């Protein structure tokens, strides 16, 4: 449950903070007495919603390095690091993208992630545990999965979807607050919500709509995992990709050390049990991903 709360909190943080700041500064000029300028409101929400999402995208590599302790390999210091750079370079050429930065982060769980603001300026990182315990062909498959994310432009697309979702969360939250204010005015001789009341209704509505919106973003995140698995299978072989996912499944009892802000970009376990966990999970269950690869191999 804590992971779900943190995941939702990350998605909601930008729009809630923006709402508080802009409301206190009096920027929300789309309300005029009893009326509401829907065009101005939508433009306002679009600018704020997309701005927060784009800022997060542009600083994604910097944040990833800091939050995971990733050390970028500029010059390999051993045979493993040289193999890692050579493998990523080979996969990048096959995928038709520029060589991303390559790094290692100090987690004992087998994991990896890709991030960056565009497909030719990305970062691919693997955990120390993954390098220590997986066979070379399995590591190569995991790297191919992450290269698949980069080649598919998943980071940019996810940011755009989050921006659009933020836009409508902010828009409908303010429409709800306006309707509540009008209702109270009609029932109490013109006394509406007032400044603080309106502000409180907006924040509550943003949280409620944000939870619903997070399920939409999570659905897309799960969908792109299947695409990245397919790309990994194409680049590294279906058998190697299936074996790598099976190895991740075998480690499900280990603590997950990926920061929640990067969980949607990691290959991660994807083991969920309850309906709520499945609804807000950024990754499909590993059994489903393995099944999808096997079915594709038989076609």
Active-site amino acid positions: 146
The answer to whether 60 and 115 are in contact (CB under 8 A) is yes
- Dmax over Cα atoms in the chain, in whole Å? 78
**Residue 32, exposed/middle/buried by CB under 10 A (0-12, 13-18, 19+)?**
exposed
* Distance separating alpha carbons of residues 173 and 276, to the nearest angstrom: 23
Q: Which pair of structure tokens corresponds to residue 236?
A: 């590294």
- DSSP string of 128-179? HHHHHHS-HHHHHHHHHHHHHHHHTTHHHHHHHHHHHHHHHHHHHHHHHHHH
Q: Is the dihedral of CA 142, 148, 153, 158 positive or negative?
A: negative
Q: What is the DSSP string of 15-41?
A: HHHHHHHHHHTT--TTEETTEE-HHHH
Q: Residue 116 is inside which H or E element, if any?
A: strand 112-116
Distance of CA 215 to the CA centre of its chain: 12
Characterize the bridge pairing of strands 35-36 and 71-72.
unpaired
Residue 85: burial class (beta carbons within 10 Å; 0-12, 13-18, 19+): middle
């Amino acid at each position: 449950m804590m992971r779900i709360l943190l995941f939702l909190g990350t998605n909601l943080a930008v729009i809630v903070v923006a709402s508080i700041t802009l409301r206190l500064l009096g920027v929300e000029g789309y309300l005029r007495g009893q009326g509401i300028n829907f065009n101005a409101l939508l433009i306002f929400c679009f600018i704020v919603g997309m701005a927060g999402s784009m800022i997060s995208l542009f600083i994604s590599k910097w944040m990833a390095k800091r939050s995971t302790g990733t050390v970028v390999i500029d010059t390999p210091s051993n045979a493993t690091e040289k193999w890692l750079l050579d493998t990523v370079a080979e996969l990048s050429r096959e995928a038709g993208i520029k060589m991303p930065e390559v790094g290692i982060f100090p987690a004992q769980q087998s994991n990896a992630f890709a991030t960056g603001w565009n497909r030719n300026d990305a970062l691919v990182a693997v955990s120390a545990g993954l390098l220590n315990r997986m066979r070379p062909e399995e590591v190569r498959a995991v790297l191919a999965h992450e290269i698949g994310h980069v080649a598919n432009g998943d980071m940019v697309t996810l940011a755009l979807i989050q921006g659009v979702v933020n836009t409508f969360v902010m828009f409908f939250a303010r429409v709800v607050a306006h309707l509540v204010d009008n209702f109270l005015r009609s029932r109490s001789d013109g006394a509406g919500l007032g400044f603080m009341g309106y502000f409180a209704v907006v924040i509550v509505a943003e949280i409620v709509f944000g939870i619903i919106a997070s399920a939409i973003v999570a659905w897309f995140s799960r969908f792109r995992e299947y695409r990245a698995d397919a790309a990994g299978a194409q680049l590294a072989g279906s058998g190697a990709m299936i074996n790598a996912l099976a190895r991740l499944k075998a480690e499900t009892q280990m603590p997950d050390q990926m920061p929640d802000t990067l969980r949607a970009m990691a290959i991660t376990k994807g083991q969920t049990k309850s309906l709520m966990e499945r609804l807000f999970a950024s990754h499909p269950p590993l059994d489903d991903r393995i099944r999808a690869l096997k079915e594709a191999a038989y076609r």
